Amino acid sequence: MNLLTVTNLEKSYKKIKAVKGITFHVKQGEVLGLLGPNGAGKSTTISMIATLLKPDAGEVIYNGTDIVKNPKAIQENLGYVPQEIALYPMLSGKENLMFWGRAYGLKGNTLKKRIEEVSEIIGIADRLKDKVKTYSGGMKRRLNIGVALLHNPELIIMDEPTVGIDPQSRNHILDTVLKLNKQGMTVIYTSHYMEEVEFLCSRICIMDQGEIIAEGSKEELIKQIDGARDLKLRLENYDDTLLAKIEAHPSVVSIEKSDGDIIAKIKQDTQIIKDIVDMINEHGASIMSMDVEEPNLEAVFLQLTGRMLRD
Amino acid sequence: MINILILKIKLTKQMLPVILIMTGMALLFIFIFGKGFSQTYQPIVSLVDEDHSEASQQMSERLMDTNQYIFNVEGLDVGIDKLEKGGVLMVIYIQSGFEESLDTEDIGMNIYIKSSAIEAVSLENKVNFIVTELANNRMFADNFAAGFEGSPITIKATDIYEDVVRLSDEYPANTVLTLKADNTEVAGYDSTKHYFAGFMVFFSLFTIMFGIGTIVDEKQNRVWARQLVGPISQFKMIIANLIGNFILGIAQLTTIVLVAKYAFDIEWGGSIIALLIVLAGFSLAGTALGLFIAGFMNTEQQLGAILPTLVVSTSMLGGCMWPLSIINNKVLLFLADLTPQRWAMQGVEKVIIGNGQIADVLQATGYLVIITVVFLALSIIPYTKMRLND
């Protein structure tokens, strides 16, 4: 069942069209990833879903209600984790949680209980009384997420929640998101880190220049580029005739030299590796090393746009 | 809304240094002007009377009724000499023929001033006021006598002039009464009280404006946006901020008034309640103005650059530094009317200089409420824009 349906959503800032009529949906209980480089339109898209921005055109239907016309329909059920650390640094972690909990109508024992639960989930229970300004970057990020969980929202939107933190905190956050999803929470997760999206998301929308250029599960997206993988070879006693012969193979997309290595982009084909090894042997060259890199979303993005995700 | 109010009170700790410095500065200046100057400083003025007429005598008597100056009656040469040596603030020279000149536009009087000190300007205004009053009395006597022309009763203006003067003193005629009402600041003007009222208004506005400026910090840290995503309406967020800051402002002003009264024996005039009413209006109007300005600012750096300039310039314009009675430019006076300080100063001065009661400050407080409503309404523009076009 679709929890959220976005149709032909558009938003411009003066002459710049930040979002160009995108359409996608979010199923109940899934983690949907919005993957794209900086400036792809991810934050603008989720700001419109979070009712912070009014779209120029299009509709956002949440549980059957158009939230562009009726923002209140989503506000009480939405947890929003902005990219920035939107907390009061001069207050303690507990004071922050209390303020945001009350803002969502929690009070008394319910609020107290939720603060305890959430601080356990995000792993800051022992630092609750300290001022937020004394927290590490990772702890602030975790509290930033915790604030959005207090009212037990049906849908949580996370806008690049791991920017600028250490790997340990990042892993903690990713595990937390998975845990929340297992408990039934629907998540929209934006990032320009391919690994995070691959790890977390059951479905992914790849955005670039205000458009969704591909959508599906990781496997479906890779299929869209014929499962292309990189075959990395280090050879001795070879010349360009061998490379030309390899490139002529129907399952080889391209071949190039890079820092002494030969990188062949190859299609999903069980025979291809054996064929290439045979060609090398016939040519009399020696294989010093060979490595097959599995296809990933970076490859998908590269193939679709001709650019890297972090260009 | 109460949640935001509690938050604002907690965040006040963050502003404590600013609040303490501004309150301390206001109290320091009140102490200096209230205790240091008011009881010892009386400028000396040379009064030269060459007319020796009834009118010049009245002129002198009325000037001397002002207890803020010491008048030395002496010759013109002596007076000018003292003025050049800095021994006197001003020389008031009543020329021979002064009495007759009151019927003309060319008044036989000269004023010699070397400095443009506030006391000199204030006294000059008072002199002009007395001359106008004397001229009006004479004109009234002339017109009264002229009314009997052709009747069997013959009345000479010179015969009834003394009665007119006496009556205008005992039972001020409407015209004179109106003049007095319009010139309260000039007629009974106490510059030291003006100064400390001005400093109180000026320094407290800093706290009020910077207090509401925490919204800019919230905008910068995206806390404001995060609140907007939640179920609290933006209107409630704005009102909660307005109330929180109003409480902060009135608490500071009340502290200043009470500490000055009980620690420095400062006399706050007719009614402390009246004073607090007008200051409450000022706190509200200052907050609304700050809210409006904060709506257009995106960073604390922008706010830090704009606010001091705005507070200082509007305080000058609004009469915190000098009385507006010395300004003739209509454009400046119109602009002054738009500032909260102008009405705060009017209200405060009515209480502390004119011994005003609650009824006397209602007009000024009313204008402050109007300013509040106007800026609150105008604030809808930046805050709505912020939500929809972030």
CA atoms within 13 A on the CB side of B92: 27
A196 lies in which domain range?
2-223
* CB-CB neighbors (< 8 A) of A91 in chain B: 7, 10-11
Higher pLDDT, B2 or A282: A282
Note whether A103 contacts B13, CB cutoff 8 Å. Answer: no
Do both B202 and B67 map to the same domain? no
Domain boundary residue among B187, B203, B231? B187
Q: Do A103 and B227 touch (CB under 8 A)?
A: yes
- If asked whether residues A141 and A286 sit together in one domain, one would say no
- Taking one residue from A and the other from B, the number of pairs with CB-CB distance under 8 angstroms is 63
A53–B390 CB contact, under 8 Å: yes
CB B246 within 8 A of CB B207: no
Residue B173 confidence (pLDDT): 41
Number of structural domains found in chain B: 2
Residues A133 and A237 in one domain: no
Per residue of chain B (390 residues), what is the pLDDT tens digit? 788 888 888 888 777 888 888 888 888 888 877 665 555 567 889 999 999 988 888 888 888 887 778 899 999 999 989 888 888 888 999 988 888 888 887 888 888 887 666 677 778 888 888 888 888 888 877 777 777 777 666 666 666 666 666 666 554 443 333 333 333 333 345 667 788 888 889 989 988 888 887 888 888 888 888 888 888 888 888 888 889 889 989 999 999 989 888 888 888 877 889 999 999 999 999 999 998 998 888 888 888 888 889 999 999 999 888 877 777 788 888 999 999 999 999 999 888 877 888 888 999 999 999 999 999 888 877 776 555 444
Residue B322 has a pLDDT of 80
Q: Is the dihedral of CA A122, A125, A131, A137 positive or negative?
A: negative
Give, as one character, the DSSP assignment of residue A96: H
Confidence of residue A201 (pLDDT cuts 50, 70, 90): very high
CA distances from A304 to A34, A69, A91, A213, A300 (A): 16, 35, 46, 8, 6
Q: Are residues B339 and B295 in the same domain?
A: yes
Nearest-Cα residue of chain B relative to residue A101: B3
- For residues A112 and A196, state if they share a domain: yes
Question: Quick check: A52 and B228 CB within 8 A?
Answer: yes
Contact A88 B3 (CB under 8 A): no
Same domain, A38 and A179: yes
Residues B138 and B195 in one domain: no
- Structure confidence at residue B315 (pLDDT): 92
How far apart are the C-alpha atoms of B135 and B78, rounded to whole Å?
29
- Residue in chain A closest to B7 (alpha carbons) equals A99
- For Cα atoms A105, B222, B204, give the angle at the middle one, nearest 5 degrees: 90
Q: Which two tokens stand for residue A78?
A: 């939405």
A150 and A241 part of one domain: no
User: What are the chain B neighbours of A72 within 8 Å (beta carbons)?
Assistant: 231
- Is there a contact between B294 and B303 (Cβ–Cβ < 8 Å)? yes
Mutation site for A-interface testing, chosen from B2, B9, B226 by largest number of A Cβ within 10 Å: B226
CATH of residue B122's domain is: 3.40.190
B-chain residues near A141 (CB < 8 A): none
Find the CATH number of the domain harbouring A178. 3.40.50.300
**Residue from the list B3, B226, B228 with its beta carbon closest to the beta carbon of A102:** B3
**CB pair distance less than 8 Å for A84 and B222:** yes
Cβ contact A86–B225 (<8 Å): yes
For residue B182, the model assigns a pLDDT of 35
B286 with B144, same domain: the answer is no
Residues of A in contact with B388 (CB under 8 A): 53-54
Kindly list the residues from chain B whose CB atom is less than 8 angstroms away from the CB atom of residue A85.
221
User: pLDDT tier at A248 (50, 70, 90 boundaries)?
Assistant: very high
Partner residue facing B225 (CB), from A54, A82, A147: A82
**Sequence-distant (≥ 6) Cβ neighbours of residue A159 within 8 angstroms:** A42, A43, A46, A81, A82, A83, A190
**A103/B229 touch (CB, cutoff 8 Å), yes or no:** no
**C-beta atoms of B229 and A80 within 8 A:** yes
Mutate which of A102, A132, A140 to disrupt the B interface (most B C-beta within 10 Å)? Answer: A102
Q: Are residues A191 and A247 in the same domain?
A: no
Q: What is the CATH number of the domain that holds A250?
A: 3.30.70.100
A308 in any annotated domain: no
CB contact under 8 A, B3 and A103: yes
Which residue range forms the structural domain that includes residue B254? 2-37+190-388
